[in-house]
Amino acid sequence: QKEVEQDPGPLSVPEGAIVSLNCTYSNSAFQYFMWYRQYSRKGPELLMYTYSSGNKEDGRFTAQVDKSSKYISLFIRDSQPSDSATYLCAMSVDTGNQFYFGTGTSLTVIP
């Protein structure tokens, strides 16, 4: 079983839609949860991070962590064509520890 599971998609939505991206994980020691956005042929860029359980909102993006279910989500409201990218979830136990990545979900927002 992989440490982190993520549906690779692809996911295609119309502009303005709400997008829900999800990951599940098996290691209960994970404490830090990150979402990265990766454009084609580019390195990942950090979108949001959450420590332990709970919600975090930043503009159109909301990250949720449910440690009891080992499930994390990223919601994108009012999606834009510029949001078209691959979204990777990542998790770590602590500072200086390896990040465990999901496979990424490919998202296309259609104008």
Partner 1 sequence: GAVVSQHPSWVICKSGTSVKIECRSLDFQATTMFWYRQFPKQSLMLMATSNEGSKATYEQGVEKDKFLINHASLTLSTLTVTSAHPEDSSFYICSAEPVLAGAYEQYFGPGTRLTVT
Q: Tokens for 86?
A: 């691959």
CB of 95 to partner 1, least distance (A): 4
Residue closer to partner 1 (CB basis): 50 or 79: 50
CB of 70 to partner 1, least distance (A): 18
**How many whole angstroms separate alpha carbon 40 and alpha carbon 15?**
20
Q: Tokens for 80?
A: 């834009």
Q: Give me the half-sphere count of Cα atoms (radius 13 Å) on the Cβ side of residue 18.
A: 6
Residue closer to partner 1 (CB basis): 9 or 60: 9
Q: Tokens for 21?
A: 């991206």
Residue closer to partner 1 (CB basis): 45 or 78: 45
Query: Which residues bind to partner 1, rule: CB under 8 A?
Result: 6, 8, 31-32, 34, 36, 41-46, 49, 51, 88, 92, 94-99, 101-104, 106
**How many whole angstroms separate alpha carbon 14 and alpha carbon 93?**
36
Residue closer to partner 1 (CB basis): 4 or 109: 4
